Amino acid sequence: LFAGETVFVKGVVAMDGLPPADRMEVCFAGRSNVGKSTLINALTGTKALARASNTPGRTQEINYFTAGDTHYLVDLPGYGYANAPLPVVEKWQRLLKQYLGGRQTLRRAFVLIDARHGVKKVDDEILSLLDSAAVAFQVVLTKADKVKEKDREKVLDQVRDALSRHPAAYPEIVVTSSEKGWGIPTLRAII
């Protein structure tokens, strides 16, 4: 899957801008600062993604990347900005709903959750959106190196409890640290 170079394809701001649905895709969602760019970079072994998606103006776009010839990796805009103006939030929610509900080649969503914080209300809303759209999703804990093992278990329990209320959830939670490389091969294998 990651044998080929990961290449930025385009940033999408509306459904009619999506590339042709000619291959499978997986998407990555998470609160801003959850470690999404870092994780995608660790997965693909390139810095291209962070560069593209953190470019001002690109942060509200759905960013498409190819990984080899077989898949798209789709980087969804981070959510939960404290000071995001309402029209921006509403525009984002509309696009997200359309994307999740309308993209036939979307095989799985990875929802990134910070291992220090667990599932917050704003995350839970995304999980409900994924339920409604019938998009199978899997939770990826990020920054696991930042919590002690005991605390990690507590957060895992909280996440499992939240997932039990979401029919579209895969029960398996992938624990990762991009810093330490934990869980990266597992996640790569899942994709």
- Is residue 110 near ligand GDP by the rule CB under 6 A? no
Nearer to ligand GDP by Cβ, of 66 and 177: the residue is: 177
Touching ligand GDP, residues 69-98 (CB under 6 A): 78
- Is residue 116 near ligand GDP by the rule CB under 6 A? no
What residue ranges in 13-116 does DSSP mark as E strands? 24-30, 62-67, 71-75, 106-114
Measure the CA–CA gap between 54 and 35, rounded to whole angstroms. Answer: 12
How many residues are there in the chain? 191
Nearer to ligand GDP by Cβ, of 131 and 179: the residue is: 179
- Is residue 138 near ligand GDP by the rule CB under 6 A? no
Closest CA to 183 of 135, 157, 145: 145
Interface residue with ligand GDP, options 13, 145, 152, 166 (CB under 6 A) = 145
The least distance separating ligand GDP from the CB of residue 16, rounded to whole angstroms, comes to 26
What residue ranges in 20-145 does DSSP mark as E strands? 24-30, 62-67, 71-75, 106-114, 137-142
Interface residue with ligand GDP, options 26, 27, 34, 169 (CB under 6 A) = 34
The least distance separating ligand GDP from the CB of residue 20, rounded to whole angstroms, comes to 27
Nearer to ligand GDP by Cβ, of 167 and 191: the residue is: 191
Nearer to ligand GDP by Cβ, of 16 and 141: the residue is: 141
DSSP bridge partners of 182? 177
Measure the CA–CA gap between 105 and 22, rounded to whole angstroms. Answer: 8
* Residues whose CB is less than 8 angstroms from the CB of residue 69 and which lie 6 or more positions away in sequence, other chains included: 4, 23
Nearer to ligand GDP by Cβ, of 23 and 146: the residue is: 146
